């Protein structure tokens, strides 16, 4: 075996071969460097994670930028600061009464009357929860890059629904007005039309909904408009004449009866009215009954003499009720008389005497139920 052969057989002790033990040593270093690198990276990640969570924990009670409660900006505030701001900007205005407006009228609903309450702690808790909606790394990145959370937390406000409904009913009691039908204002000598008036009725459901919206939102605008519906009368001014096709008035002072048709004067008649001891009653009445050649049921009164309490046949000589009878009230009515000299005076025992031709003429134009005003 030669020198070269022996060297090949036992290896190159001098390490001159590039494929010898030096190659193994370099590979080992690479492995060690890789392990060290990975360990260092893991350590960096660990330190970073610890730092991220430490930073996040340090801001645990801080509200993210962009978060609002009922429109009040609480971004960047901690729990105590947010509580103070909400007390000042949200709760304090709630103590001011809500006013219902209709025209120049105002109807205040106080916070005490509505039993209004605001849960500030719950509002702040929800604002913080909204701020922590992202994971810890995301929250830290958001903080470091100036990001924000677009969130408006609804106010946590409570009140008594029954108290608010009771208030609406009170407002309705002040606002509601029944319609007024057109009518007649009569005197002994005139008829005047009282015009109709529209009524109004509060739209209660609409007002209740508006108040609930205002209270639920903690709105700073404390003015709520009331709305009403028009309530139409059954008889309008234009229709009143048709309601009174025939009307009678009697002026005792001038011994005059007047016939009105469709509220226009048609005819006047001279009548006799009751004596001072037996006055013709005054007021608004109606024609209750009608008779041709009426039977006379004689009142049981001293002035009737021997006929008192008897019944006298219609058309007889003893019967003073001539031709026609139009009863008004309590034995008082229109009737014809032969004693025409008594017309234009206070001569009867309460009845309204007329000339026979006049009472016949009037009788045919006045139905039962016709109103009559005696003044």
Name every residue whose Cβ is closer than 8 Å to that of residue 62 and which is 6 or more positions away in sequence.
76, 77, 78, 131
Measure the CA angle with vertex 174, ends 172 and 179; round to 5°: 80
Tell me the backbone φ, ψ of residue 295, rounded to 5 degrees: -75, 140
- ∠ CA 209-215-219, rounded to 5°: 110
Report d(CA 203, CA 140) in Å as an integer: 53
Catalytic (active-site) positions: 335, 351
Question: DSSP class of residue 91?
Answer: I
Q: Is the dihedral of CA 279, 284, 288, 292 positive or negative?
A: positive
What is the DSSP annotation of 249-287? EEETTTTEEEEEETTEEEEEEE-BEE-TTSPPP-EEEE-
Pull the structure tokens for residue 280: 């013709």
Long-range residue pairs from 90-96, CB within 8 A, at least 24 positions apart, any chain: 90/118, 90/120, 90/123, 90/155, 90/218, 91/118, 91/120, 93/218, 93/220, 93/222, 94/118, 94/157, 94/218, 96/222
Q: What sign does the dihedral 327-333-334-339 (CA atoms) show?
A: positive
């Amino acid at each position: 075996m030669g020198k070269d052969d022996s060297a090949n057989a036992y290896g190159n002790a001098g390490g001159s071969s590039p494929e010898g033990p030096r190659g193994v040593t370099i590979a080992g270093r690479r492995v060690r460097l890789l392990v060290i690198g990975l360990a260092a990276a893991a350590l960096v990640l660990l330190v970073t994670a610890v730092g991220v969570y430490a930073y996040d924990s340090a801001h645990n009670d801080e509200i993210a930028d962009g978060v609002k409660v009922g429109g009040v900006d609480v971004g960047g505030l901690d729990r105590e600061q947010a509580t103070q701001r909400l007390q000042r900007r949200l709760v304090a205005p709630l103590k001011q009464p809500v006013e219902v407006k209709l025209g120049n009228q105002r109807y205040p609903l106080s916070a005490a009357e509505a039993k209004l309450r605001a849960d500030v702690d719950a509002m702040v808790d929800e604002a913080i929860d909204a701020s922590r909606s992202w994971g810890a790394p995301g929250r830290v990145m958001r903080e470091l890059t100036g990001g924000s959370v677009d969130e408006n937390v609804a106010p946590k406000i409570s009140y008594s629904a029954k108290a608010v409904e009771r208030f609406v009913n009170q407002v309705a009691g002040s606002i509601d007005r029944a319609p007024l039908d057109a009518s007649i204002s009569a005197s002994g000598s005139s008829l005047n039309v009282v015009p109709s008036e529209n009524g109004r009725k509060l739209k209660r459901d609409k007002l209740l909904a508006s108040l609930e919206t205002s209270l639920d939102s903690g709105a700073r605008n404390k003015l709520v408009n009331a709305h009403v519906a028009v309530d139409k009368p059954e008889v309008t001014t234009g229709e009143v004449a048709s309601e009174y096709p025939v009307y009678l008035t009697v002026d005792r002072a001038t011994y005059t009866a007047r016939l009105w048709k469709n509220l226009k004067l048609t005819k006047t008649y001279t009548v006799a009215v009751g004596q001072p001891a037996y006055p013709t009653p005054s007021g608004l009445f109606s024609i209750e009954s009608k008779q041709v050649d009426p039977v006379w049921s004689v009142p049981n009164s001293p002035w009737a003499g021997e006929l008192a309490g008897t019944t006298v046949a219609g058309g007889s000589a003893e019967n003073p009720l001539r031709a026609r009878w139009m009863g008004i009230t309590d034995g008082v009515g229109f009737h014809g008389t032969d004693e025409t000299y008594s017309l234009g005076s206070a001569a009867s025992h309460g009845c309204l005497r007329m000339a026979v031709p006049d009472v016949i003429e009037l009788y045919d134009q006045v139905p039962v139920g016709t109103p009559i005003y005696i003044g």
